[in-house]
Chain A
Amino acid sequence: MTLSIRFFINAALLIILALVPFLTDWAGDSFYTGLVSRILILAIAALSLNLLIGYGGMVSFGHAAYIGVGAYVVGIGAFHAFEDGIDWMLNGYFQLFTTLAVSAVIALIIGAISLRTRGVYFIMITMAFSQMLYFTAVGVETYGADDGLTIYSRSDMMGLIDLNDEKSLYYLIFVSLLAVLYLMHRLVGSQFGNVIRGTKSNEARMRAIGYSPYKYRLTAFVIAGIIAGYAGFLMANLSDFVSPDMMHWTRSGDLIIMIVLGGIANLFGPLYGAVVFLMLGELLSSIPLTIGGLSVGEYWQLIFGPLLIFIVLYARNGIDSFLPGKGRRT
């Protein structure tokens, strides 16, 4: 690997992210550790979705569902530990294993059916499945239905790491992000990644040279689902709360926005996208400008909506196209 300008920008971003808890300590405002934790968790989910959308050309419009699944596993575990005194359900490793297993099975089922369709139909069917999970969560009275579940006690990692400590949780999230970045880097460069990318650009040709795209696509779909489920596990521990709203189709839309904002099929793209998307929300909503008695910040989506259209129309590669040097392209 040659050390391009891009490499240094990416490295600088990671170093800043590594120092966030200390920077906020220094600034005396721990609010930002929470905000950045959120950003990084969503970046992990967006990275997994980028494997599907960016590299595989599979526009899955229901990815937030897996975040919800992971979060609900933690929430339900904590609920039974708290209400019924079943202590082993609070065990973090049990919750983690269940999260990964359940999201893998759900992704396998959804993927096996959805991947039979193409184009718009694929977008719609993945959305339909995520809506099914959403309505399941809304319908189950025991686990709070519409109102969601408050998590009274975070996953118990048996002394290995204390998730109640904001800093430890932050570094768990940060290390997870690094691991997912590395995994994506290896995946995309592997033979598996080549097949996925080849299928995106020309499926007929991939078939002709003897690959069965369906199996590879399904594998990618399941991997992405598992990672997003893991992001949900982290999210539940961060926010101490799960609700059906986490799986709503607009949340899936947010993830897609992050990917496109960051520059599609680009390793670091989703990370930049998540940072900019959430920061922009914070920033635009705190514009101290008042026009005719109306505060601009309160109506920030009025600016954000057209901005999104503008980015789609004129800045096709998102933030990626504003950074110097060339990112990893496909």
Chain B
Amino acid sequence: MNWLLLLEQVLNGFQLGLLLFLLAAGLTLVFGIMDMVNLAHGSLYMMGAYFCATFTNWTGSFLIAAILTLPAVFLVGVVVEIVALRNLYARDHLDQVLATFGLILFFNELTRLIWGPIGLSIPLPEFLSTTVEIIPGVPYPTFRLAIILVGFLVAALLYFIVSRTRLGMLVRAGASNRDMIGALGINIRLLFTLVFGLGAALAGLAGLMAGPILSVEIGMGESILILTLVVIVIGGIGSIKGAFIAAIIIGLIDTVGRSFLPEILKLFIAEDSAATAAPAISSMMIYLLMALVLAIKPQGLFPPKGVGR
């Protein structure tokens, strides 16, 4: 086994995992506090990538573009919440699935209308497009390292906000008993809108960081949305800690599995059948994990403490 490759893949796994966490954090809060299935979260991620591409084009700087993108996606999130989602909280999950499915169609077509069907690319500034040697002789792209760094920073910040600030307290209270904090005189609608906007901004952050690595294209939100859903379901809906742990697990399994499964399979079965089976099995692995977790713990690994869910 190639240890340097393994190290690189583990880092890539962390990078994917942290991107997933940024998406999952917002989604799991919306799920947990408002009991709302939001399939359109991937669209906000896509918006983040497209906004960033456009702003980079205008300003010529990726960093300024990134700073502009966050409030822009926050605004989009707030508008979506006020116009469409606000009316859906009281509905059953089927309605929510359907309406947010409609939102996905809308956002995809809107993107095609504004930016055209061809994907965009986000050029990186010089200092981010180099590589650094993590240990002597092993170069690793600076930008990917930056993603890992930003991901951990945001996770720490989020932990601080949720566990140490008043807003965080309200969020936690909302997750365990919505009606009660409403009765205590908290403006719950405003809280929901804020949390949704914050989740949107995090999705936008994930989008703008994924943009330079993957391509910025229509439908980029859907594939990652499914992974994100897997993450929050494994982690336990409504739990930030669960989302973080599950995101890292999924990131590692997906990346490391893809590059090492063929070799591992060769130990057990014939070489050519291993080569055909490996890609299928490695893309299935995370779903297998999810099915396994749900079969054993139907509420996910870290179900939030709460009443009457």
Which of chain B's residues 282-299 have a Cβ closer than 8 Å to chain A? 283-284, 287-288, 290-291, 294-295, 298-299
- Indicate the size class of the contact surface on chain A: 35 or more
Find out whether the CB atom of B222 lies under 8 angstroms from the CB atom of A113. Answer: no
Q: Is B267 an interface residue (CB 8 A)?
A: no
Contact of A132 among B93, B105, B288 (CB under 8 A): B288
B226→A249 contact, CB < 8 A: yes
Contact call A256/B294, Cβ cutoff below 8 A:
no
Partner of A121, one of B95, B107, B280, B294: B294
Interface size on B, residues (CB 8 A): 46
Interface positions, chain B 73-126, Cβ under 8 Å from A, are: 84, 87-88, 91, 93-95, 97-99, 101-110, 112-113
Q: How far is the CA of A61 from the CA of B39 in the complex (A)?
A: 12
B259 to chain A, nearest CB (A): 15
Q: A302–B107 Cα gap in the complex (Å)?
A: 8
Contact indicator per residue, chain B 164-183, by CB within 8 Å of chain A (1) or not (0): 00000000000000000000
* Cβ contact within 8 Å between A302 and B281: no
The 0/1 profile, CB within 8 Å of A marked 1, for residues 252-290 of chain B is 000000000000000000000000110111011001101
Nearest CB on B from A106, distance (A): 13
Expressed in whole angstroms, the Cα–Cα distance for A129 and B154 within the complex equals: 32
B93's partner among A120, A136, A306 (CB-CB below 8 A) is A120
CB proximity of A46 to chain B, nearest CB, Å: 14
Taking CB atoms, residues of chain B closer than 8 Å to A132 are 284, 287-288, 291
Q: Are B276 and A309 in contact (CB under 8 A)?
A: no
Provide the residues of chain B in CB contact with A256, threshold 8 Å.
94, 97-98, 101
* A305: interface (CB < 8 Å): yes
Is B301 an interface residue, CB under 8 A from the partner?
no
A116 at the interface (CB under 8 A from B): yes
Report if A127 contacts B (CB, 8 A). yes
Query: In the complex, what residue of chain A is closest to B230 when comparing beta carbons?
Result: A128
B37 contacts A by Cβ under 8 Å: yes
Contacts of A114 in B (CB 8 A): 294
Judging by beta carbons under 8 Å apart, are B102 and A131 in contact? no
CA distance A245 to B242 in the complex (A): 32
Residues of B near A260 (CB, < 8 A) are 94-95, 98
Q: Is the CB of B295 within 8 A of A116?
A: yes
- Complex Cα gap A113–B277 (Å): 24
Q: Is the CB of A312 within 8 A of B91?
A: yes
Determine if A307 and B102 form an interchain contact, defined as CB atoms under 8 angstroms apart: yes
B248 adjacent to chain A (CB < 8 Å): no
B229 neighbours in A (Cβ, 8 Å): 124, 127
The A108-128 residues at the B interface (CB cut-off 8 A) are 113-114, 116-121, 123-125, 127-128
Q: Is A301 a contact of B106 with CB atoms below 8 Å?
A: yes
Nearest-CB residue, chain B, relative to A135:
B283
The residue that A306 contacts in the complex, of B95, B106, B277, B279, with Cβ under 8 A, is B106
A210-269 residues at the B interface, CB under 8 angstroms: 249-250, 253, 256-257, 260, 264
Chain B residues with CB under 8 A of A305: 102-107, 109
Chain B residue with the shortest CB-CB distance to A59: B94
Q: Is the CB of A301 within 8 A of B281?
A: no
Q: Chain A interface secondary structure, helix, strand, loop or mixed?
A: helix
A140 touches B233 (CB 8 A): no
B106 cross-chain contacts in A, Cβ below 8 A: 301-302, 305-306, 309
Residues of chain A within 8 A (CB-CB) of B103 are 305, 309
B97: chain A residues at CB < 8 Å are 59, 61, 123, 253, 256
Q: Which residue of A lies closest to B237 (CB)?
A: A120
CB neighbours of A121 from chain B (8 A): 233, 237, 294, 298-300
Q: How many A-B residue pairs have CB under 8 A?
A: 131
Task: Contacts A119-B93, A140-B280, A312-B95 given; indicate if A131 touches B226 (C-beta within 8 A).
Answer: yes
| CB neighbours of B94 from chain A (8 A) | 53, 59, 256, 260, 264
CB-contact partner of A312 in B102, B277, B279, under 8 A: B102
**Quick check: is B31 within 8 A (CB to CB) of the other chain?**
yes
B287: chain A residues within 8 A (beta carbon) = 128-129, 131-132, 135
CB within 8 Å for A257 and B101 given contacts A121-B298, A306-B106: yes
Chain A contacts of B280 at CB under 8 A?
Answer: 135-136, 138-140
Selected contact of B37 from candidates A120, A131, A300, A309, CB within 8 Å: A120
Q: Residue B276 contacts which of A113, A131, A141, A307 (CB distance < 8 angstroms)?
A: A141
B276–A142 touching, CB < 8 Å: yes
Decide: B283 and A138 in contact? CB cutoff 8 A.
Answer: yes
Closest CB-CB distance, B146 to chain A, in whole Å? 31
**Does A182 reach chain B (CB closer than 8 Å)?**
no
Instruction: Select from chain A the residue with minimum beta-carbon distance to B281.
Output: A139
Mark each residue of chain A from 285 to 303: 1 if its CB lies under 8 Å from any CB of chain B, else 0.
Answer: 0000000001000011110
A140 to B281, CA, bound (A): 10
Query: Is A14 close to B, CB under 8 A?
Result: no
**Cross-chain contact B230 with A124 (CB below 8 angstroms):** yes
A304 at the B interface (CB under 8 A): yes
Closest to A260 in B: B98
Cβ-defined contact, A125 with B105, below 8 A:
no
| A135 to B87 CA separation, bound complex (whole angstroms) | 35
Residue A19 lies at the interface, judged by CB distance under 8 Å to chain B: no
B9 CB to nearest A CB, Å: 20
12 A-B residue pairings within 8 Å (CB atoms)? A128-B233, A129-B287, A132-B291, A139-B281, A140-B276, A253-B101, A301-B109, A305-B107, A305-B109, A307-B102, A309-B84, A312-B98
Closest 9 pairs (CB-CB, A-B): A139-B280, A305-B106, A308-B102, A305-B105, A135-B283, A302-B109, A305-B102, A301-B109, A301-B105
Q: A119-B93, A139-B276 are in contact. List 17 more A-B contacts (CB 8 A).
A: A53-B94, A59-B93, A113-B295, A117-B298, A118-B298, A123-B37, A123-B93, A132-B287, A135-B284, A139-B277, A139-B284, A302-B109, A305-B103, A308-B98, A313-B87, A313-B88, A313-B99
